[in-house]
Structure formats: C-alpha cells, structure tokens
C-alpha cells in the first residue's frame, strides 16, 4: 500500500532523493510504501529558482564502499534503482547487514553506469582546439548531468553536449543545463546559438544543486588494462593515487598525434598547464615549440606528456610556486605513463629532464652524463635524455641561454634523425 508519493525534479535529482529518503527513514516509512516519480517543476530550467526540501536527522550510517557507488546506481536506468537504494538505507537503519544479493545488484548497476560514463568521457575532444566543440550523444540525461564536472575538467574550453533528453553547455567558466535538443541538420553556428538559448539553468537554480558526480576510481590494474589514449585520459580526471590531486585544478594528460613515432616526456604540468588542461603551453612549452620547429619537427606530429600528471606547487600570495615532485608521487603516476607509452608504442622517447628520465629508466639519472646519446629501452625502442626547457629559462645570462638552447635544439634534431636510422 502506497503511503508516500515523492516527486523528484529530474532523474539526476540526487539531493532531492537524499533529503526525502532521510525524512522517510526517520518517519519509519517502509520501501514498499513509497512511490518515487519524476516530474519537472515549471522553473526547472529557470535562471534562478528556490526549492524547499524536508529536513530530518540521519538514521543510517552508510559504509564508504556503498557510499562510493550510490551516485552511479542513482543515475542508472535500472527501473528498481530507487527501491534498492532506499532498501539498503532501511536495512542499515535497522542494524541489519545488507543482503549479498542486494549488494551484488548495486555493484553490478554501478559498474554498468561507470562504463557508460567512461564512454561519454572518451567522446569529449581535448582542449587543443579552443573553438566551441559540439558533442552529440545518446546517453541519458542523468548520466550526462553526473559528468558535468568531469567533462569541464577534461576540456576547460567551451563545449556543448547534446542528447534527446538533455543539453549541457560549458562556456569555459560555468555549465548550464537545458532540455534535450539534437539539431543534427543545423550548422554549428546555429547549434551553438540554440544551445545557449536552451541551457539556462545554472548555479542560481536550486533544482540543479547537489547532482552527485559519478567517478571512475581508477586503480593501477584498471589503468594497465586500458587499450586507448582516450580511455586513459577519461579515467585520469578521477585519479587520486597521490596527494597532488587535492590542490591541483585538474589532471593534465598527454596530447598530440596518437600515431606519433616520437614522444616527449616532461616533469609535470605547470601553472598554465594546470589551468588550461594541456601539457607544455606555458613559457617552457612555448620555448619547446620553437626549438622543435628549428630542429625540423612539428608539435602536431608528436605526442607530448609528463611523468607526473598533477601540478605540485606551494601557494605564495596569488602565485603558485612550482615544487619538484617526490619519488612517491612519481611512482604513483608510473601506471599512467607506462600504459601511455605502451598504447603509443613510439620508436623514440625523449626524456626532458631528470624526473622524466628517472620515471622511464627506473633508476637515478644525472642528465649531464646520459644526455645526447641513444639509450636502448626495454620495449626495443630508443630513449634520449636532454634537459627540460624550463632549465633554459632559468639560466642567468644571455650567452648561457644561447649556448644551451643550441645544444637543446641539436638534441631534438638527433631524436628526429634517429627515425631515419
């Protein structure tokens, strides 16, 4: 017998469900007595809206393992998801163990949702092209909503995700939600204009406050089993395998030609790379691009990445001062770099600086001793050690800078000529 009918604003209305679940658990309403429905309020896509929700003290303590999968279950398309979630909380409230079949069902649903989240992320272009990017997808509105944070970190420059049930727009500063729109027949300019008109609900609309993000929780085993660069990049946004993720803005993955014969590995993202989500775009990256061109190469032909994927820094006023990564941080990133190199399978790996060289060679390295000579690597390819371009920027006088810059260009030219045998 239905005792309570609860209306949620959207299929991604996790905060609404949580507030009502807490109230109903406190009032001892059984799961069989609740009817959950989704019905959009008139102001769902308004620029601003307020929303009253019930309040009640928590009566159930959720174990961390279950808490990690609740959002993924909630945004799934499993018809029994809300029943299962409430039943789990009800069981815990009563001091009973969650039945194995319920736990297994929850894990299975969460696994399937994460596969779909990974698929959606893999479709998002990187930030190398700063122009608006339009992504057409058939994923559900709830799944798209749950990936808003991840997608804006994957691509900090503007994009639009369009699906039959949701339009999600990121303008480079904030994201906004709107109803579904496909626009397959329209030119990009009209798609962007229409999406801007539709996607009007943002931070000022309380109905969109509290969407639970679905995270992928990458582990070394999952990373090493990855078969594509897109999958690595999609998972890396959720990396928490060292402490650097807590302060950095985002994970910065590699970028370039996925069929590159040469890859360049630096130390870590800097301030500008962390903000823009791209490797080697700050002062050192600009110097690297110039040297690469003089050596006869093109960035578009290469793959450029870092040994450590998060920016390590110390705040100083409004500035962020670069700090060298420690061995545990380098080791934590080893699965990312090793799998990246395996997927790319380059013929030449250029290690820019001691951190990159140590990460690839697996031993302590003195750049001056190892520099400018081919090093056979375990995978049968050739390695080459040189300085990091930031070293050139730190030199005290113009004569030293000119001399060392020439040596750096020669090292890059040697790497390129190695391909010719």
**Residue 278, domain CATH:** 3.40.470.10
By mean pLDDT, which of 39-43, 79-83, 184-188, 277-281 is the weakest?
184-188
Give the tokens for residue 93.
């409230």
Give the tokens for residue 363.
């031993």
The answer to whether residue 66 is domain-embedded is yes
Domain match, 180 and 316 both: no
Domain match, 192 and 239 both: no
Q: Is 391 exposed, middle or buried (0-12, 13-18, 19+ CB in 10 A)?
A: middle
Beta bridge partners of 168: 161, 177
Residues 349/379, Cβ–Cβ less than 8 Å? no
**Which of 118, 142, 167 is at the close of a domain?**
118
The answer to whether residue 315 is domain-embedded is yes
The answer to whether residue 356 is domain-embedded is yes
Domain match, 267 and 397 both: yes
Domain match, 141 and 242 both: no
Domain match, 403 and 346 both: yes
Domain match, 382 and 298 both: yes
**Which of 151, 184, 208 is at the close of a domain?**
208
Domain match, 246 and 327 both: yes
pLDDT value at position 1? Answer: 63
The pLDDT tens digits for 87-102 are 999 999 999 999 999 9
- Virtual CA dihedral for 268, 347, 295, 290, nearest 10 degrees? -30
pLDDT value at position 141? Answer: 97
**Which of 185, 208, 231 is at the close of a domain?**
208
Domain match, 142 and 25 both: no
The answer to whether residue 165 is domain-embedded is yes
**Over the chain, what is the mean pLDDT?**
95
The answer to whether residue 41 is domain-embedded is yes
Q: What are phi and psi of 375, to 5 degrees?
A: -125, 115
Whether the predicted pLDDT of 185 surpasses 90: no
Domain match, 405 and 260 both: yes
* Overall pTM surpassing 0.85 (yes/no): yes
Domain match, 129 and 79 both: no
Query: Which residue do the tokens 């793959």 mark?
Result: 303
Query: Which residue do the tokens 């590699």 mark?
Result: 254
Domain match, 244 and 305 both: yes
Q: How open is the CA angle 93-94-97, to the nearest 5 degrees?
A: 90
Please give the share of the chain, as a percent, with pLDDT higher than 90.
95
pLDDT value at position 3? Answer: 83
The answer to whether residue 214 is domain-embedded is no
Give the tokens for residue 413.
């030219």
Domain match, 242 and 188 both: no
Domains identified in the chain, total number:
3
The answer to whether residue 213 is domain-embedded is no
The answer to whether residue 215 is domain-embedded is no
The pLDDT tens digits for 18-44 are 999 999 999 999 999 999 999 999 999
pLDDT value at position 186? Answer: 87
Compute the Cα dihedral for 32, 91, 208, 253 and give only its sign.
negative
Range of the domain at 180: 122-208
> For the chain, first and last CA: distance in Å?
79
Whether the predicted pLDDT of 363 surpasses 90: yes
């Amino acid at each position: 017998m239905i005792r309570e009918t609860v209306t949620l604003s959207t299929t991604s209305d996790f905060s609404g469900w949580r507030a009502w679940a807490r109230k109903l658990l406190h009032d001892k309403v059984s799961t069989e007595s609740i009817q959950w429905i989704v019905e959009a309020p008139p102001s769902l896509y308004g620029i601003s809206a307020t929303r009253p929700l019930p309040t009640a003290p928590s009566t159930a303590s959720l174990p961390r393992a279950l808490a990690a999968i609740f959002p993924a279950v909630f945004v799934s398309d499993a018809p029994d998801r809300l029943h299962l979630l409430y039943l789990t909380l009800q069981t815990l409230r009563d001091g009973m163990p969650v039945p194995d079949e319920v736990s297994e069902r929850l894990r299975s649903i969460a696994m399937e949702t994460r596969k779909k989240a990974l698929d959606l992320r893999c479709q998002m272009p990187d930030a190398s092209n700063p122009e608006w990017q339009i992504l057409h997808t058939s994923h559900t509105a709830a799944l798209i909503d749950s990936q808003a944070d991840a997608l804006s970190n994957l691509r900090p420059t503007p994009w639009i995700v369009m699906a039959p049930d949701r339009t999600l727009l990121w303008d480079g500063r904030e994201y906004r939600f709107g109803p579904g729109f496909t626009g397959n027949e329209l030119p990009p300019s009209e798609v962007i204009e229409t999406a801007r008109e539709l996607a009007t609900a943002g931070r000022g609309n309380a109905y969109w406050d509290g969407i639970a993000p679905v995270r992928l929780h990458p582990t070394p085993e999952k990373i090493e089993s990855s078969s594509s660069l897109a999958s690595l990049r999609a998972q890396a946004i959720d990396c928490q395998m060292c402490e650097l993720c807590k302060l950095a803005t985002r994970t910065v993955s590699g970028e370039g030609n996925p069929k590159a014969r040469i890859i360049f590995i630096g130390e870590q993202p800097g301030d500008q790379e962390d903000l823009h989500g791209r490797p080697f775009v700050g002062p050192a990256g600009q110097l690297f691009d110039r040297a690469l061109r003089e050596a006869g190469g093109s960035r578009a032909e290469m793959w450029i990445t870092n040994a450590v994927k998060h920016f390590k820094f110390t705040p100083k006023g409004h500035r962020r001062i670069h700090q060298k990564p420690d061995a545990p941080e380098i080791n934590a990133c080893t699965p990312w770099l090793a799998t990246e190199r395996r997927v790319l399978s380059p013929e030449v790996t250029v290690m820019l600086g001691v951190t990159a060289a140590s990460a690839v060679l697996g031993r302590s390295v003195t750049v001056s001793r190892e520099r400018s000579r081919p090093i056979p690597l375990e995978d049968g390819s050739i390695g080459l050690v040189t300085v990091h371009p930031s070293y050139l920027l730190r030199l005290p006088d113009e004569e030293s800078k000119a001399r060392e810059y020439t040596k750096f260009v020669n090292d890059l030219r040697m790497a390129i000529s190695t391909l010719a045998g």
